[in-house]
A and B are shown apart, each in its own frame.
Chain A
Amino acid sequence: MAEQMTGAEMVVQALIDQGVEHMFGYPGGAVLPIYDAIFQQDKVRHVLVRHEQGATHMAEGYARSTGKCGVVLVTSGPGATNAVTGLTDALLDSIPLVCISGQVATPLIGSDAFQECDTVGITRNCTKHNYLVKSIEDLPRILHEAFYIATSGRPGPVVIDIPKDVQFALGTYHKPQARPSHPTYKPQIEGDLEAIKVAVDLMLRAERPVFYTGGGVINSGAEASRTLRELAELTGFPVTSTLMGLGAYPASGSQWLGMLGMHGTYEANMAMHDCDLMICLGARFDDRITGRIDAFSPDSRKIHVDIDPSSINKNIMVDIPIVGDVNQVMEEMIRIWRAKTNQPRTEAIAPWWKEIEKWRRVNSLGFTNSDTIIKPQHAIQRLYEATKGRDVYITTEVGQHQMWAAQHFHFDQPNRWMTSGGLGTMGYGLPAAIGVQVAHPDALVIDIAGEASVQMTMQEMSTALQYELPVKIFILNNEYMGMVRQWQELLHGGRYSHSYSDALPDFVKLAEAYGGHGIRCSDPAKLDSAIDEMINIRKPVIFDCRVSKEENCFPMIPSGKPHNEMILPDTADIGSIIDERGKVLV
């Protein structure tokens, strides 16, 4: 179906045809025609942000919590450069985004025109792909192609830079193809059957197996989490996950070991270190996971399922690489396993589980609680208890609070946990929470924040108020850039160079200034009722939770150390383990 319209109208029509319901943006000279087209329709709702970085993180939160593509609209020059952090964040965390930017008119490109910047040049290395649309004839194809590329294969951000004259030009629009394809971009969905058979053979013979799952399981869609649960039950194998994959396998499941990696549990990291078969499903052997490469899981064979061939053998050489969509591959694994047996390997791996039980008893997430001061871990635990059973979504900023949230808040479903893992972007959490709330207006959406991080994008409180999005900002206020302080304590002789959060605003008054609700709590006895107050207010809330200032986040694998040399909290029960393991504590 071909139709004549302007470039700006095509943009909006393509969004509608791609099923977009919400977009996040900020106007400016170079996108005014598109804003005019938005004004004249009511199918796509536009959320006006306060800073373009906020728009990108909102779109990320929206995308991660729905499985859909996030959409961003920014103007040329500063609008585009402000979006760069969020685009990079989405690239590293494999989040599908389409970001439309305005550009100066084509005859002016390269003349240092007002608000001109080389957007495609600047974003080339922080997007999965990008386009400069030079002619109206190319626009409909590029618009649809961008959505296809952003959402298929390994998802990621795509930028479409549209000069203003192209937005005004008249052209012929066409609808998206029912089954999109591309001449050069062809993600591989189906895993090699022979390789999957070999993988299942190894699984059927394993004595110390572990599933190492990651963000790819979330990327693969809700179905993949169901398939993972089935595969876990069928095999009886223990399951751990990266920060990005939390919720794919339920934290309440009996085979759950907790998160692995630098701040993962003792049992998860020991299982990774001592296993004889590692089944990596949609994770990318990030350095927060592997620690010292040459000491990483030395005695295991490794199966790696990933949709991106370049993820395989990048950091860690594996034995059985399988390129394909993790859901499809897991379904094949289940089918092949079932064809051989209907039994989990319960008996064969019983000694392995016994060992894992021993590691679990170390209680590596333990901490010394207090009656007089709120411990940050305790605050997360209380938050978790208070919100249990509700329709809850958690986002985070970056730092210790992020790790404590990952450790002490438990997720039983996918798409409930939004965090900046790969780039570690402070300021991600509040806008991400707003994006989540836009997609799920009735849900309880909480940004677990640090007092330093949240100030990076605090102005989005105003967006929350404007659109009546009752997000909760739960600040673990330790008056430090805690994660930085912790590293300075461990590595730089406790010289806390510029990591103190000085001149903090009064967060309660700040909330009120924005028209939200402020709560402060420093008394453990009053914490529960303060949390209830926060949950029950249908308004954006800033909760200034005053916690102990110099708490460290444990357990921790110091950088450059192998998994079996974790630093455990001083409360860990290492009585029976320490003899066998020698120097567990370093």
Chain B
Amino acid sequence: MNANLLPTGSVYFMPSQTEAEERRTLTVLVDNEPGVLARVVGLFSARGFNIDSLTVSETEHDKHRSRITVVTVATPKVLSQIKLQLERLVPVHKVHDLTQEGSAIERELALVKVAGSGDSRVEALRLADAFRAQVIDATTESFVFEITGKSSKVEQFVALMVPLGLVEVVRTGLAAITRGPEGM
């Protein structure tokens, strides 16, 4: 608490308009009661916050506790509001900013359907192998690949599939966890 030693932290000295936006992964620990997801998502839309990715599932069945992983993009000031507003919701236990708290591991799963024949079919298989994507369905003219990894890897794989006959993609959104022995 040395704010009294610094120049005043008043906003007038911070041109807030030009503040750069940052991408953050937040973990929201909630009681899995009815409507809790609507509360969280409703808060983002009501207050004009962005959601880039959203992943939800009950993670501790005995305690009825769910983990919501949200990826959002905002200025630092808005990010702090997002966290405080989320924590204000009654069923929210805690909000962790994984990006800020240190190196978190982030993974996403995607199912990618590609249709084609001849060279492009061979090329798709070759690339899938290089990306360690699994073939989980195959016909003579199509594949469904399952790929897991960082979002950037998934993006890259999908981009490569476009010229090779990409039909559709479904992604789970991000799951993220901190490294090391400690839990939340």
Contacts and interface: CB of A to CB of B under 8 A. Distances in A.
B184 interface: no
Contacts of A182: 90
Interface string A129-142: 10010100000000
Contacts of B10: 296-298, 300, 302, 316-319
A195 interface: yes
A198 B3 contact: yes
Interface string B77-96: 10011001101101111000
Interface string A291-332: 001111111111000001110111011111000000000000
Interface in B1-57: 1, 3-4, 6, 8-12, 14, 30-31, 34-35, 38-39, 42-43, 46
A301 B4 contact: yes
A198 B87 contact: no
Contact of A125 (B30, B46, B90): B46
Residue among A128, A316, A319 with max Cβ neighbours from chain B (10 Å): A319
A309 B38 contact: no
Contacts of A201: 4
A271 B77 CA distance: 27
Nearest to B2: A198
Contacts of A124: 35, 38-39, 42
Contacts of A308: 88
Given A314-B81, A319-B8, A198 B35 contact: no
A86 B3 CA distance: 40
A185 B33 CA distance: 14
A542 interface: no
Contacts of B31: 183-184
B72 to A, nearest CB: 16
Contacts of B30: 184
Nearest to A138: B33
Contacts of A319: 3-4, 6, 8-10
Contacts of A579: none
A198 B4 contact: yes
Nearest to B29: A184
Interface in A258-305: 293-302
Contact of B14 (A295, A296, A317): A317
A7 B105 CA distance: 48
A298 B81 contact: no
A132 B87 CA distance: 21
A336 to B, nearest CB: 14
B12 A198 contact: no
Contacts of B43: 125
A394 B11 CA distance: 37
Interface in A171-213: 182-185, 194-195, 198, 201-202
A527 interface: no
B90 to A, nearest CB: 4
B77 A313 contact: yes
Given A121-B38, A149-B90, A314-B81, A293 B12 contact: yes
A346 to B, nearest CB: 23
A274 to B, nearest CB: 14
A349 interface: no
A120 interface: yes
Nearest to B34: A132
A309 B4 contact: no
A318 B1 CA distance: 13
A317 B7 CA distance: 12
Nearest to B3: A319
B84 A195 contact: no
B43 to A, nearest CB: 8
A216 to B, nearest CB: 15
A297 B1 CA distance: 22
A134 B35 contact: no
A238 B4 CA distance: 22
B46 A313 contact: no
B80 A184 contact: no
Given A198-B4, A313-B80, A129 B90 contact: yes
A132 B3 contact: no
Interface in B118-133: none
B8 A300 contact: yes
Contacts of B38: 121, 124
Contact of B87 (A194, A298, A309): A309
A198 B157 CA distance: 55
A316 B11 contact: yes
B117 to A, nearest CB: 47
Nearest to B17: A294
B11 to A, nearest CB: 4
B88 A310 contact: yes
Interface string B53-85: 000000000000000000000000100110011
Contacts of B46: 125
B74 to A, nearest CB: 14
Interface in A348-374: none
Contact of B93 (A184, A295, A296): A184
Interface in A100-145: 120-121, 124-125, 128-129, 132, 134
Given A183-B31, A313-B80, 15 more contacts: A132-B35, A134-B34, A184-B31, A296-B10, A299-B8, A301-B8, A310-B88, A312-B84, A314-B81, A318-B10, A319-B4, A319-B6, A319-B8, A320-B3, A320-B4
7 contacts: A124-B35, A294-B11, A299-B8, A301-B4, A301-B8, A313-B80, A317-B10
Interface of A: 120-121, 124-125, 128-129, 132, 134, 149, 182-185, 194-195, 198, 201-202, 293-302, 308-310, 312-314, 316-320
Interface of B: 1, 3-4, 6, 8-12, 14, 30-31, 34-35, 38-39, 42-43, 46, 77, 80-81, 84-85, 87-88, 90-93
> Lowest 5 A-B CB distances belong to which pairs?
A310-B84, A317-B11, A319-B3, A129-B90, A185-B90
